[in-house]
Amino acid sequence: MGAGTGPTASPGHGGRARRFAVFAAAGVAVLAGSAVIGFLLTRGALSPTGEEAADCAPVSEPGHVVGDGPGSLDSPLGTVLAFDHAYYVERSAEKAFEAVSPSSRMTPDRLRVEGVDRVPEGTTHCVDARELSPTLLEVSLTESPPDAEPVVIRQRVRVAENPDGTWGIVSITPAG
């Protein structure tokens, strides 16, 4: 039975449902399209921590990770670690792109030109990521450039499961 049909449907109900579906689809398209732009904007919305970079002692517990290690595409949290490790440690947009979902609009060229190439050589990082839902993560990324104060970048990272069972980043947007 289609929306807006049947004995309990009120007039106009189908129109509201269709409008809602259109707005939901538009929201998904905006999120997917904002991946690179959001990542780059969050890099511009940095806040100095006002202190020396803290030790990035690894933490791995259900729904929460801290670290700067290579991560893994086997889980949403591990995917964020893998992306940032490739970005900061390996300085490879191509390697970082391996942690990107096929549904994202990110490209290796944009990651390189507008991201990796702009990060000073020797910059270290620390990821503190928490699951808000199975596909939405809250990330505090501490970026420590050489000869500069560390900054914290707060992000919301949306991920999706790939057909092969691995995970990929769909979008990265600023978080308040």
Q: What is the pLDDT of residue 55?
A: 80
Q: What is the mean pLDDT of residues 128-151?
A: 96
**What are the angstrom distances between the C-alpha of 66 and each of 1, 95, 132, 159, 169?**
48, 20, 15, 18, 18
- Worst-scoring range by mean pLDDT, 72-86, 107-121, 132-146? 107-121
pLDDT > 50? residue 91: yes
Q: What is the pLDDT of residue 48?
A: 43
Q: What is the pLDDT of residue 83?
A: 97
Residues 6+ apart with CB under 8 A from 152: 46, 47, 49, 140, 141, 142, 143
The pTM of this model reads 0.72
